[in-house]
Chains A and B, each alone.
Chain A
Amino acid sequence: GAVVSQHPSRVICKSGTSVKIECRSLDFQATTMFWYRQFPKQSLMLMATSNEGSKATYEQGVEKDKFLINHASLTLSTLTVTSAHPEDSSFYICSAIRGQGLTNYGYTFGSGTRLTVV
């Protein structure tokens, strides 16, 4: 089945530094990848949608200069949290889909990254 690997699973960084999170589709080419943020005991909030080779589309209220997304290949998307601050601490989850529209073969989620900024 479709597998998405997300790395790292946990990261602690100092305030003011940058952190990169990777999302890889291991056995399929992902036409589109999504990045979500989840606060404790809350739902997933979509941050941005990325398509290979083009700029990410950010949701309203998400700072594109703070949350840099790169989708350099059909199997890899990265989220970089720049100049991280404690309020950026959260659980970040990526998902990837094959196909488009009605031939969307489904969403596969990574296992998430717990970011703690101290």
Chain B
Amino acid sequence: AQSVTQLGSHVSVSEGALVLLRCNYSSSVPPYLFWYVQYPNQGLQLLLKYTSAATLVKGINGFEAEFKKSETSFHLTKPSAHMSDAAEYFCAVSGPNTGFQKLVFGTGTRLLVSP
């Protein structure tokens, strides 16, 4: 079964600083990996996804993530944080054991951006 671990329940950065949100996955076979953002009382919006093509994935709003098999990681980065980036971020995985149907989510990381 696949799983993801998000290190750090909260990450605080200053506006303009680098954003780094960590996600490590566990899977015996190549998984699909996703990053979602959630604003208060809203559903989830897809930022980007890795589906075994390019290892460096670019998403919306300036975010990107790199799939590193050797480190079993899929960390999310953004060069310069904006106040509007403050939200909850979830890493998720799906795999062939469920026909790439089910998503398993990490516990989430709340990004705080200060002026």
Q: List the interface of chain A (C-beta within 8 A of B).
A: 4, 6, 9, 32, 34, 41-44, 46, 49, 91, 93, 95, 97, 100-102, 104, 106-107, 109-112, 114
Contact = CB atoms under 8 A, between A and B. Distances in A.
B43 interface: yes
Interface residues of B, number: 21
Interface in B66-115: 90, 99-108, 110
Interface of B: 34, 36, 41-46, 49, 90, 99-108, 110
Contacts, number: 54
B105 A44 contact: yes
Contacts of A91: 41
Nearest to B4: A43
A43 B6 CA distance: 11
Contacts of B41: 9, 91, 112, 114
Given A43-B108, A91-B41, 9 more contacts: A4-B43, A34-B102, A34-B103, A41-B110, A42-B107, A44-B44, A46-B104, A49-B101, A111-B43
